[in-house]
Amino acid sequence: MKVRKVYFSLISLFFYFLVNSQVNLVSNSSFENHTSCPTFMLQWDKCIGWTNCNGNVGSGLWGTPDYYHTCGLVQSPYNPVPPNTGMGYCNPHSGDAMMGLVCYNAGYVDAREYITTQLTCPLTIGNTYTVSFWISTQSSPQVKYNSSHFGAYLSNSAVTQSGFNLVSVTPQYEITSLITNTNWQQHTFTISPTTNLNYITLGCFKSDAVITKSLTTPSAWQPYSNYFIDDIEILSSASSSSFSISPSSTNVTCNGSANGSATVTATGIGPYSYFWTPGSYTTASVSNLSTGVYTVTVNGTSCSFSTSTISITQSPVLTSSIMVSSFTNCDNDSLILNSSISGGTPPYTITWNNGAVNTNSITVNSQTMSVYSCTVTDSNNCINTQTIQLSLFQSVSVHSNTPNVFTPNGDGVNDIFDFKALSNCENFTFEIFDRWGLSIFKMNDKKQSFWDGRTTSGEEVTDGTYFYIMNIESGSKSKGMISVFR
C-alpha cells in the first residue's frame, strides 16, 4: 500500500511551523472516506465529498461513475471491489479505493461520465498551483476500447451535465494521446488562475468526432473505454495571510494512564479552526490523552494551513521488590529487609508499614510482626506496594521431606530425614535415640542438616522406630519419633 504524501516545512527542532507549507486543496483526494461501502458499481454517491455532474444516482441511470473500495460487496458481473472489478483488473494506486469513469461508449454518441469536487480553498489570482492525478486502464479488461483526451477542468462554478451527454468545456489539461497504460501513471501540470477557481472536474471533454478510439479487446462484453483515477492533488504555497503555530504538551504521569495533554498556539491573523488525529478533536487544547503520536492541523483565514506533530510519552512502569536475608527465622533472630526500586520518575518516597520512611532497608524481628509492606511513591504520585510474609519458629519443629518415616536404602528416593530449617538458627542441637534411650546420632553442624540413618560413627541403624530431641538457643525444645525402613 502506498502512503499518501504530506507536505510541510520544518522551521525548528521544536515543531514550529510556518504556513508556507504545501497543502492539498482536494478533500478526500484518494476516495478513501465513504458513507458506506459500495455494493454495486455506479455508486459514486457513497464517496464523501465527490459528485457526478448530473445528480443521477443508482443502477439503470447514465452518467454514474463507479466507486471501487476493498470494503465493498463482491459480486458478479458488476463487482465494485478491486482488483477484480467489473471493468477489469486494477488495484488502487494508494490506499483501498479508486474511482472509474467511462470516457467513450460505442453504443451512444458522446456518452460521458464525470467526477467533480469543490476545493477546500479557491485557487486565487496571483498564485501558481501544481495539479496532478493518477490514471490507469485495466488489465484483463472487461471493456472493448481505449480512448484519448482524458482531462482535468478547473472552474469557478460547479459543472453540470445533462443526462450522460458531453460537457463541452476547455480543460486546462488533456491527455491527447491514446491511453493504454495498465500501470498507474501520474499526470502533472501547473496553473496560474486569472479568476478564482473553486472546483475540479475530471473526465473526457471532447466529442467522439475528436477523440481517438481503439478497439483493443473485441471479446470484452462492455462497449466502453474506462479509466481508473486516484490521488488527485492541487498543491499551493501558503497565502499572504500567514501565521505560525507552536505546540506544547504534558506527558502521561503514570505508565498506562491517559492523563496527557497537548496544546497548539497560533500566532497571526485568526480566527483558527483545529483538527486532531487520532481523536478528531476540534479545540486548541486536548486532554486525557494516552501515550502516542498526535497530529493537529490548524486552518487560518484565506485557506492557510499548518500542521504539527506532538508525541505524548510516559515513564517506565514503577516497580519495586523486597529482598530478605532469610524467609525462615528462628526465635529472636533479626532480619534485614531491602527494597529495590526501578522505573517511574525519581525521587521516590518510601514508606514501610512498621513506621520507617525514606529508607531502602529496615531491620526487623519476626516475633514482632510477620507481614511487612513497602509503599513507593514517585514524583508523579505513582504508587507501587510490595508485601512479604515471614515465617517464624515460635515453637521449634522439624520440616522433613518424610515427616515420620524414611527409607535410607540408597535408591535416591526418601533416603534422608531432612531438617534444613534449623540451618537458619545460630545455636542448636539435634539428637537421635534408640528405643532404649541410648544416643546414636548427634548433630550441631549447619553443614549437615539431615540424618541418613547412620550412627554418629557411620554405622547403619537397624529398621525400627527412633526418637529425636531438638534444642535451639532460645530454650525451645521439640520431640518426636521417626521410623526407619530399608
Give residue-wise pLDDT tens across range 338-356.
899 999 999 999 999 989 9
What is the C-alpha separation between 279 and 296, in angstroms, rounded?
Answer: 10
CATH of 319-392, one of 2.60.40, 3.30.70, 1.20.144, 1.10.287: 2.60.40
Annotate 365-379 with DSSP letters as a single string: ETTT-SEEEEEEE-T
CATH 3.90.1530 correct for 405-484: no
Residue 400 or 265, more confident: 265
- CB atoms inside a 10 Å sphere around CB 134: 20
φ, ψ of residue 301 to 5 degrees: the values are -75, 165
Report residue 286's pLDDT band, with 50, 70 and 90 as the boundaries.
Answer: very high
Domains 23-236 and 243-312 in one fold: no
How buried is 344 (Cβ within 10 angstroms: 0-12 exposed, 13-18 middle, 19+ buried)?
buried
In the prediction, which pLDDT does 423 show?
A: 58
Residue-averaged pLDDT of the chain:
84
pLDDT at residue number 165: 94
What is the average per-residue pLDDT within 451-461?
88
| pLDDT value of position 330 | 55
Which of 366, 415, 413 is closest to 388 using CA atoms?
366
Residue given cell 481505449 in the structure block: 146
Q: Which residues of 146-167 are buried (b: 16+ CB within 10 A; e: fewer)?
A: bbbbbbbbbbeeebebeebebb
Q: Is the pLDDT of residue 8 over 50?
A: no
Query: Which one-letter amino acid corresponds to residue 204?
Result: C
Over range 137-151, report the average pLDDT: 94
- Section 80-87 average pLDDT: 94
Residue 455: partners with Cβ closer than 8 Å, 6 or more residues away: 440, 441, 461
Domain 23-236 top-level CATH class = mainly beta
Q: Distance between CA 184 and CA 98 in Å, rounded? A: 12
Cβ neighbourhood burial of 412 (10 Å; 0-12, 13-18, 19+): exposed
Q: What is the pLDDT of residue 421?
A: 59
Residue 444 has pLDDT above 70, yes or no: no
Measured CA to CA in angstroms, residue 403 lies from 38, 55, 406, 417, 466 at distances of: 76, 92, 8, 8, 13
Q: What does the pLDDT read at residue 368? A: 56
Closest to 25 (Cα-Cα) out of 133, 123, 99: 123
Tell me which range, 36-40, 237-241, 329-333, is most confidently predicted by mean pLDDT. 36-40
CATH assignment of 243-312?
Answer: 2.60.40
Task: Give me the residue spans of the domains in the chain.
Answer: 23-236, 243-312, 319-392, 405-484
Question: Which residue shows C-alpha cell 492523563?
Answer: 259
| Cβ partners under 8 Å of residue 379, min gap 6 | 344, 345, 346, 347, 348
- Is pTM beyond 0.75 here? no
Cβ 164 vs Cβ 113: under 8 Å: yes
Mean pLDDT in residue range 453-457? 87
Q: Check residue 401 and give its pLDDT.
A: 40
